[in-house]
Amino acid sequence: MSTDASSLTADDLEFLQRPLHGLLSVAAGPVPAQPRPVWFEATADGTVQLFTGPETVKVRRLRRDPRASIVVAAPVGERERWISVAGTVTIELDGAHDLASRLAARYWDLDDPIRAKDLAALLAEDQVRLVLHPETVHRFAY
């Protein structure tokens, strides 16, 4: 395992461009963290972003305490590898629908009419964009 105090490497970004699920945890004070699987996008500037509804529990918690982490692991059948990114999150009112569209194309076959309809329904909802600014990155590869 290696640690870089604050940034994702080019190798990390390449790994994170794959359609893998991340497990997001937000700070919850005395309540134990309850990770949730999420779609995410690692950006060229080294942040990690995702989208969610503006009234979700994670957003309410992030408004109180902006600390969060995401863990992304290689799937079963591949050599063990994971990356954990922890830092503070900003809640952005712009760009969520564009991000949702990019991620849907990454995770779903949008030629499938059911998935295209799922995306249309998702885009009809209010969304915010969460941007995780790394402060600590841990990684492991076996």
Q: Which residue is listed with tokens 């059948």?
A: 77
**127 token code pair:** 């969304």
Please name the helix (run of DSSP H) or strand (run of DSSP E) that holds residue 130, with its range, or none.
strand 128-141
Q: What amino acid occupies position 75? A: P
pLDDT digits (tens, 9 = 90+) for 31-86: 778 899 999 999 999 999 999 999 999 999 999 999 999 999 999 999 999 999 99
Is the domain 2-141 a CATH 2.30.110.10 member?
Answer: yes
In this predicted structure, what is the pLDDT of residue 127? Answer: 98
**93 token code pair:** 């009112």
Q: Give the chain's end-to-end CA distance (angstroms, integer).
A: 9
pLDDT digits (tens, 9 = 90+) for 27-41: 877 777 889 999 999
Domain ranges of the chain: 2-141
What is the C-alpha to C-alpha distance for residues 21 and 141, in angstroms, rounded to an integer? 17
What is the pTM assigned to this prediction?
Answer: 0.92
Residue 12: phi and psi, rounded to 5, are -60, -50
